[in-house]
Amino acid sequence: MPRPIRAVVDPAAISANIIKIKQLLKGVAVMPVVKANAYGHGLGRVFPGFQNADALAILEIEGAAMLRASGWTKPIVLLEGCFDDADLNRAIELQCDWVVHNIDQLHDLEKLASKPLGYKPRIYLKLNTGMNRLGFQPTDGAAAIAWLDQFATRNAWSSPVLMTHFANADEAEPRDRRPLAEAQHQQLTQLKPAHWQSSLANSAGILNFPELAGDIVRPGIAIYGASPGPHTAASYGLKPAMTLSSEIIAIQSVKKGERVGYGSRWQATEDGRIGVVACGYADGYPRHAPDGTPVWIEGRIASVAGRVSMDMMTIDLSNIPEAKVGSTVELWGDNVPVDLVADHCGTIGYELLCAIAPRVPFHTVVQP
Ligand SMILES: *Cc1c(COP(=O)(O)O)cnc(C)c1O
C-alpha cells in the first residue's frame, strides 16, 4: 500500500456551491475564479463542476488554453489582463475576455483596432476604488471609460464591464466593512455608463453584501466550499470540495510529563496515547500548526500535539480509545473545515488549499 495521505476533490460540491450562489443572487451572472489551478484543487479535475457557471475567470493563460481544450465555450476572463504582445495574441487565439487595469494595457488595444478577431472581446475595465492594488484611479476613470466605450463601439466589440474589487468585505465587524464597500460601490456606479455591466464582488462581497454585488460576480473561495469570513462556510450553505486525509501509522504510549516531537513542544499532562499521522509540512500541512489544531478521527475531534514535522504529525489520542493504526484522520474536509485549521495557524483557508504539495495523490469523486 502506498503512503496513505490523499486529497479527494468533489466536482459535485463545486456545482452545488455555484447553484447556492445563483439562488442567493437571482439574475446575476456567476463567474467562478479558477486561478491557481482552481485554488489547488486541480483545474482539470474539478472542471466538470463548473458546467452551470456563466463564465470563468483565471490569470494563467495556460489554464485558459486547458479550459478551451476541455470544451469550455462560454467566456473566459483574464483577471490581470495581458502581460505582453505574445500574451495578448494568445488571449485572442483562445477567444478570451480580459481586464484592463492601466493606461498601457488600454492603449495596447489600439493594436487590435479593425482587425478581424473572429469574436467580440469584452474588456473589464478595472477601477481602483480604495484597494490600491490594480486599477484606474476614479479621477482618471471617466477618461478611460470614454476612450474604451468609443473603441468598443467603433470595432464592434462587446459592451465593456466596469469592475472593482472590495478591500474589506471579509472583515468580522460589519461596522468596519459596510461603509467602505458602499463607498466603493458608489464610486463605480457614478462612473458606469448605463449600457455597461458592473462586476464588484468576490466571495466575501457576494455573501456579505449581495445587494452591492453588481451584474457579474467573481466567487473564488466560496465555490470551493470554504469561507471568506467572517462566518463559517456551513452557515453560508457551502460544501467543501476538498478533503485532505491520511491514516495513523503508529501509536505511542506516553507517561505524564513526557514530551513529543521536535523541540519537545507538547508535554503529556496525563498518561495517554499519541497517534502518528502520515502527513507533514512537505505535504502542505502548515508547520506552524499549534497544539490544539483540530483533526477528525473515529467520529471525533482530536488535537495536534507537538510540532508538525516534514512527513509526520502527532495527535493526542487520549480521549479516543477506538483510534488504532490504520484509522483514517481527516486533516480538513466535511468534519474539520479548512477555515478552522487556518484560524488555528494564523492564516486563511485559501493558503492551505493552494499549498497542497505535489507528492500528495489526488482523487476525484466520480458521479454515479
Ligand atoms: C481571486 C479573485 C477573486 C476571488 O476572490 P475570493 O475571495 O476567492 O472569492 C475575485 N476577483 C478577483 C479580481 C480576484 O483576483
Q: Among 35, 39, 124, 126, which one carries the catalytic annotation?
A: 35
- pLDDT score for 171: 65
**178-210: pLDDT as tens digits:** 888 899 999 999 999 999 999 999 999 999 899
Is 262 an active-site residue?
Answer: yes
Quote the ligand 1 centre to 175 CA distance (angstroms). 22
> With a 6 A CB cut-off, is 242 part of the ligand 1 pocket?
no
Q: State the pLDDT confidence band at 172, using cuts at 50, 70 and 90.
A: low
> With a 6 A CB cut-off, is 218 part of the ligand 1 pocket?
yes
Set out the domains of the chain in order of their start, with CATH numbers. Answer: 11-225 (3.20.20.10), 242-364 (2.40.37.10)
Quote the ligand 1 centre to 166 CA distance (angstroms). 9
- pLDDT score for 315: 98
Binding annotation for substrate: 133, 310
Quote the ligand 1 centre to 219 CA distance (angstroms). 6
DSSP state of 347: S
- pLDDT score for 114: 87
Query: Shortest CA distance to 338 belongs to which of 258, 205, 241?
Result: 241
Q: Whose CA is nearest to atom 8 of ligand 1?
A: 220
SS3 47: helix
Is 285 an active-site residue?
Answer: no
Q: How far is CA 73 from CA 41, 51, 214, 356, in A?
A: 22, 10, 23, 30
Which ligand 1 atom is at minimum distance from the Cα of 205? Answer: 9
> With a 6 A CB cut-off, is 203 part of the ligand 1 pocket?
yes
**24-48: pLDDT as tens digits:** 999 999 999 999 999 999 999 999 9
> With a 6 A CB cut-off, is 349 part of the ligand 1 pocket?
no
**316-347: pLDDT as tens digits:** 999 999 999 999 999 999 999 999 999 999 99
Q: State the pLDDT confidence band at 1, using cuts at 50, 70 and 90.
A: confident
Q: Is the pLDDT of residue 175 over 70?
A: no
- pLDDT score for 367: 76
Q: State the pLDDT confidence band at 366, using cuts at 50, 70 and 90.
A: confident
Quote the ligand 1 centre to 312 CA distance (angstroms). 33
HEC string of 200-224 equals: CCCHHHHHHCHHHCECEECCCHHHH
Which ligand 1 atom is at minimum distance from the Cα of 134? Answer: 13
Q: Whose CA is nearest to atom 13 of ligand 1?
A: 79
Q: Is the pLDDT of residue 358 over 90?
A: yes
**305-316: pLDDT as tens digits:** 999 999 999 999
- pLDDT score for 39: 98
Quote the ligand 1 centre to 184 CA distance (angstroms). 16
Of 2-6, 75-79, 169-173, 355-359, the range with the lowest mean pLDDT is: 169-173
Name the helix (H) or strand (E) containing 58: strand 56-58
Which ligand 1 atom is at minimum distance from the Cα of 99? Answer: 13
Mean per-residue pLDDT, 139-151: 96
- pLDDT score for 169: 66
Q: Which three cell numbers stand for residue 143?
A: 477618461
What does the alpha-carbon distance between residue 274 and residue 252 come to, in Å, rounded to a whole number? Answer: 5
Q: Is the pLDDT of residue 260 over 70?
A: yes
Query: Shortest CA distance to 330 belongs to which of 341, 318, 342, 319?
Result: 341
Of 123-132, 250-259, 350-359, the range with the lowest mean pLDDT is: 123-132
**278-291: pLDDT as tens digits:** 999 999 999 999 99
Residue 125 one-letter amino acid: L
Q: Whose CA is nearest to atom 15 of ligand 1?
A: 79
- pLDDT score for 121: 98
> With a 6 A CB cut-off, is 79 part of the ligand 1 pocket?
yes
Which ligand 1 atom is at minimum distance from the Cα of 222? Answer: 9
Q: State the pLDDT confidence band at 368, using cuts at 50, 70 and 90.
A: low
> With a 6 A CB cut-off, is 227 part of the ligand 1 pocket?
no
DSSP state of 33: B
> With a 6 A CB cut-off, is 101 part of the ligand 1 pocket?
no
Which ligand 1 atom is at minimum distance from the Cα of 206? Answer: 9
Q: Is the pLDDT of residue 252 over 80?
A: yes
Q: Is the pLDDT of residue 4 over 80?
A: yes
Quote the ligand 1 centre to 1 CA distance (angstroms). 39
> With a 6 A CB cut-off, is 228 part of the ligand 1 pocket?
yes
Binding annotation: 133, 310
Mean per-residue pLDDT, 349-354: 97
The pLDDT > 70 percentage for the chain reads: 98
pTM of structure: 0.95
> With a 6 A CB cut-off, is 219 part of the ligand 1 pocket?
yes
What is the distance, to the nearest Å, from the Cα of residue 194 to the centroid of all Cα atoms in its chain? 31
- pLDDT score for 181: 87
Mean pLDDT of the chain: 95
